[in-house]
């Protein structure tokens, strides 16, 4: 609430998104796509049967339609980014090092349902720039979103934050942690008697270690020692037994 970069709710930032969408459309970097969901699904299945990458590319005629011509169609549409061909997109991940994507494997991706309804990749590219975000730290399942955001940042003349993609937290069966593995909400751990510092300590050790045998860290120690460069690339299993042990240590120290 408040602050130099308010408002923070995307629903209150629609004017900014609309302005940037119009800029992309005017520059020919975005266009209206009129393919139906049924057509897109059929295309995807055909590509997969043929062993090809299931991406959507509109033809040159549709890509070249001006906004006025699109609106005159009075048909349901979506706004897509015109992905350039033959580009290699590179960024340095603070956890994984250099990562590269070929633009030909991305396709013309959707960025908004209409001028007042932005979609994820477009909205966060604008938000990161306007809120002067220095580091975007998120799960590794977002790596594939990064080249799309890089393309949008370049087309809009926006800055690029540093990216760090963390390994996912896994259940005991080495699948992505979910409710079926047990409590996943902070409130549930609190109600179960786990202390805040114990849970933070435990979470910090999932996928990271300081290179020593130390396992109990105060918040001050974590803030000094934690380094993204030491985050492991593979996922860490959520071990409830380890959390119970840590929580017991913190309770005894009270």
Give the per-residue pLDDT at 72: 59
pLDDT score for 158 = 97
Q: Which residue would you say has higher pLDDT here, 40 or 69? A: 40
231 pLDDT more than 80: yes
- The tokens describing 20, both together, are 């940037």
Q: Looking at 23, 45, 52, 179, which residue is catalytic?
A: 179
Q: What pTM was computed for the model?
A: 0.86
What local confidence, expressed as pLDDT, does residue 70 receive?
62
Q: What is the mean pLDDT of residues 80-88?
A: 95
Mind giving me the DSSP string for the chain?
--STT---SGGG-HHHHHHHHHHHHHTTSEEEE---HHHHHHHHHHHHHTT--------HHHHT--HHHHHHH-S--EEEE-PPSS-EEEEEETTTEEEEEEGGGT-S-EEEEETTEE-HHHHHHHHHHHTT--EEEEEGGGGGGHHHHHHHHHHHT----EEEEEPPEE-TTSSBP-GGGS--SHHHHHHTT--HHHHHHHHHTSSB--SSS-----HHHHHHH--GGGB-SS-EE--HHHHHHHHHHHHHH-
pLDDT of residue 178: 78
179 is catalytic: yes
* Beta-bridge partner residues of 137: 164
- Give pLDDT tens digits for 17-40: 999 999 999 999 999 998 888 988
Mean pLDDT, residues 72-97: 90
Across all residues in the chain, what is the average pLDDT? 91
| Residue 90 pLDDT | 96
| 147 CB neighbour count, 10 Å cutoff | 24
Q: Tell me the pLDDT tens digit for each residue of 116-151.
A: 999 999 999 999 999 999 999 999 999 999 999 999
> Tens digits of per-residue pLDDT, 144-189?
999 999 999 999 999 999 999 999 989 888 888 877 777 678 899 9
**CB burial readout 241-251, b (16+ within 10 A) else e:** eebeebbeebe
User: What confidence score (pLDDT) does residue 132 get?
Assistant: 96
The answer to whether residues 130 and 156 touch, using CB atoms and an 8 Å cutoff, is no
């Amino acid at each position: 609430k408040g602050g130099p970069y308010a408002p923070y709710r995307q629903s209150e930032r629609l004017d900014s998104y609309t302005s940037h969408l119009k800029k992309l459309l005017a520059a020919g970097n975005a266009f209206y796509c009129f393919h139906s969901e049924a057509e897109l699904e059929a295309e995807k299945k055909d590509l997969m049967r043929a062993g090809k990458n299931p991406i959507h590319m509109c033809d040159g005629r549709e890509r070249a339609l001006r906004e006025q011509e699109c609106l005159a169609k009075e048909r349901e549409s979506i706004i897509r980014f015109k992905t350039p061909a033959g580009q290699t997109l590179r960024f340095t991940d603070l956890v994984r090092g250099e990562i590269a994507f070929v633009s030909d494997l991305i396709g013309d991706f959707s960025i908004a349902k209409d001028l007042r309804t932005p979609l994820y990749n477009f909205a966060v590219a604008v938000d990161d720039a306007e809120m002067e975000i220095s580091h975007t730290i998120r799960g590794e399942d977002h790596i594939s979103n990064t080249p799309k955001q890089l393309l949008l940042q370049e087309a809009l003349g926006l800055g690029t934050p540093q990216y760090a993609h963390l390994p996912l937290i896994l259940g005991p069966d080495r699948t992505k942690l979910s409710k079926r593995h047990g409590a996943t909400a902070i409130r549930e751990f609190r109600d179960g008697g786990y202390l805040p510092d114990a849970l933070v300590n435990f979470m910090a050790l999932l996928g990271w270690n300081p290179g020593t045998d130390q396992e109990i860290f105060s918040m001050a120690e974590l803030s000094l020692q934690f380094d993204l460069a030491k985050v492991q690339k593979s996922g860490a299993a959520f071990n409830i037994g380890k959390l119970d042990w840590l929580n017991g240590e913190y309770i005894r120290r009270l």
